[in-house]
Chain A
Amino acid sequence: MTDLAASAALPKPSRDMLPALLPAILALAMLPLIGSPSSWVTLTVASLAMGMMIFIMASGLTLVFGLMDVLNFGHGAFISVGAYAATLVLLPLAPYVRADSLWLNLAVLAPAAVLSMAVSGALGLVVERVLILPVYGQHLKQILMTTGGLIVAEQALYALWGPQIIPLPLPTSLRGSFIIGDIAIAKYRLLAMLVGLVVFASIQLVLNRTKIGLLIRAGVENREMVEALGYRIRRLFLGVFMVGSGLAGLGGVMWALYREQVHASMGNDLTVLVFIVVIIGGLGSIGGCFIGALLVAMVANYGGFLVPKLALVSNILLMVAILMWRPRGLYAVTSR
């Protein structure tokens, strides 16, 4: 009889690395197709920046679904509300935005981002209490309620700000690009990548290194058990919902600056993209959401460059391909 060595380390859980490598594989595979390395670098940076922005918007949605089984079809509303909230700071302080000083520009951008996160987060509080609380556990009603919320939010934005497109110029010091050899990298894209990485890293840190993160992950796996251990998971969920809404607002500001305009329909347009990302990543998975966002952005950028006609349906094709491979998304977290 072999004695079971109790002191031996537990076998390490096997890490599923293939999906995580997918963006890198895709990027490398595109290099020979695109040909010129300089346009490849530009396209890759563009996709990384776009992917980070989409990730920021989508992260809240996937967490909210994973934790509480609530799919918020009105998530796009937080994106537009965040963008509009930023105009409250950026338009009156336009001289500072136009000033050719990085610090002055950032001194305006930071409060704008904070304000939009606060406004979206506060709206998230209201939406959770008013729209979602009464219909926990009823998917059909959740979809209907949050869709109704999206309509009301969009119309309210039109009523308050008017239906016209609001131009939102990029701060002067973030315009243009760094030129290295014959490679041009837009400055704003670098900033977007930086912010995205910081958000991703902090979400991962909170989820993996703090007690709240432990509770959230436990709640995703088994909500009832966490409740049975005496934690008020409803409150936890409210917190996650508000943070998720706030992040959507931040993503909205960044997207608005990227496109240099604000319109109430942008939330609606981005909802589809965000949904595709969340489905590809696996509902409830932050890592999957990150990879999904990168993949969607890469397919959009490379596809738009190589076969412009295909760009219209490239996201759908990507989603179909991924779901053929893994029907529950890249990283399936929930058993639901």
Chain B
Amino acid sequence: MMILSGDPPRSRVLSILLVVIIAALAVTPLIFPGAKAMNVATKILIFAALVASYDLLLGYTGSVSFAHTMFYGIGSYSIAIALYSMGPSWAAVATGAVVGLPLAMLLALGIGLFSLRVEAIFFAMITLAVASAFLVLASQLSWLTGGEDGRSFQLPELLRPGTVLISKNVFGFELNGRVLTYYVIFIACAAMILALLRVVNSPFGRVLQAIRENRFRAEALGFRTVFHLTYANCLAALVAASAGMLNALWLRYAGPDTSLSFSIMLDILLMVVIGGMGTIYGAIIGATIFILAQNYLQALMGAASNAASEAGIPLLPGLLHPDRWLLWLGLLFIASVYFFPTGVVGRLRSAGRAAS
């Protein structure tokens, strides 16, 4: 209870789901050591933390930011550039963190002070503009960022796949640098999500919710809303940048497509809304559903598309083409905003309340 900050899932089905997901993620390297399964599991972990930090903004303060991938990208790029230019050492990782995190926070502070004074809509538009400028900047400053190609780099010795820490014949599975990296990411992401849970259940988090419900009233009660919103924005940016660093460490690469593009922003939005806004747990559920769908549903759609084109049905093959999976997810997104705005988590919770 302490570790969940007094905010348990409050639904039996949800608890079971969460336990299953976390347990599955915890044992993935032992049971499915294949590259694809590991990549999917890592992506779920990183996005769960990233989406949870976005939930702090969207779900708890009610402000829509389109600049979240920018912070994610700052984290990714700072690690990538540091390791690329300083060589694979722990000093480089530390440098990346020491440069990247404050940079992300300062930027969030600037955007927040500039645009959070006014309405949610204004914040949304300003973040969209700033994020797109940053994307262009990152792909143009190729001497620093590698342009469209991004930056590939070497990891420190300890985290490389070739480094065998415990060989296969001791426990029956191999503990190499890759697995170690996975568990570093696992622990870091779990810690970030728990920390966010702590933040939203603190008095500070209550003020954020008050601002979400009625900003004018919160201000009348004497809370400095701009300060609270900007603080939340900075916190979210810090977590996002950390998630970006973990992502770069796993991929050994940072580029515009993997860490900055607008489509990642849309993915994050979809995950938050599908999982459930304002719950933090929704981030884990949303990220899991979305990334599993992204990786395995596409194969299914490809099969359906081929079947449809063989059956000679017009239009359907195009609509079911694996690259068009976002079309269906977009429809799901609209439907979920409209019909169940509280997402999967909200649904499960209210179902649990109705049953008991």
Interface residues of A (CB under 8 A from B): 71, 73, 131, 134-135, 139-141, 143-145, 147-149, 151-152, 155-156, 158-160, 162-163, 268, 271-272, 275-276, 278-279, 312-313, 315-316, 319-320, 323, 327-328, 336
Contact = CB atoms under 8 A, between A and B. Distances in A.
A328 to B, nearest CB: 8
A313 B137 contact: yes
Interface of B: 58, 62, 64, 114, 117-122, 124-126, 128-130, 132-133, 136-137, 140, 262, 266, 269, 273, 315, 318-319, 321, 323-324, 326-327, 329-331, 333-334, 337-338, 341
A271 B66 CA distance: 13
A138 to B, nearest CB: 9
B121 A313 contact: no
A158 B324 CA distance: 8
Contacts of A143: 64, 120-121, 124
A73 B330 contact: no
B269 A312 contact: no
Contacts of B319: 159
Nearest to B329: A151
A151 B330 contact: yes
Nearest to B212: A140
A144 B327 contact: no
Contact of A279 (B126, B318, B321, B323): B126
20 contacts: A134-B338, A140-B120, A143-B120, A144-B273, A144-B333, A148-B337, A149-B334, A151-B329, A151-B333, A156-B327, A159-B315, A159-B324, A272-B129, A272-B132, A279-B125, A312-B140, A315-B133, A319-B129, A327-B117, A336-B119
Contact of A155 (B128, B326, B341): B326
A316 B129 contact: yes
A140 B62 contact: yes
Contacts of B62: 140
A277 B114 CA distance: 17
Nearest to B63: A140
Given A71-B124, A163-B323, A319-B126, 13 more contacts: A135-B338, A140-B62, A143-B120, A143-B124, A144-B337, A148-B337, A158-B327, A159-B321, A159-B324, A313-B136, A316-B129, A319-B129, A327-B118
Contacts of B132: 272
Given A139-B121, A159-B319, A159-B321, A148 B330 contact: yes
Contacts of A147: 266, 269
A140 B64 contact: yes
A257 to B, nearest CB: 24
B63 to A, nearest CB: 8
B125 A275 contact: yes
Nearest to A142: B121
Given A148-B337, A312-B133, A313-B137, A155 B330 contact: yes
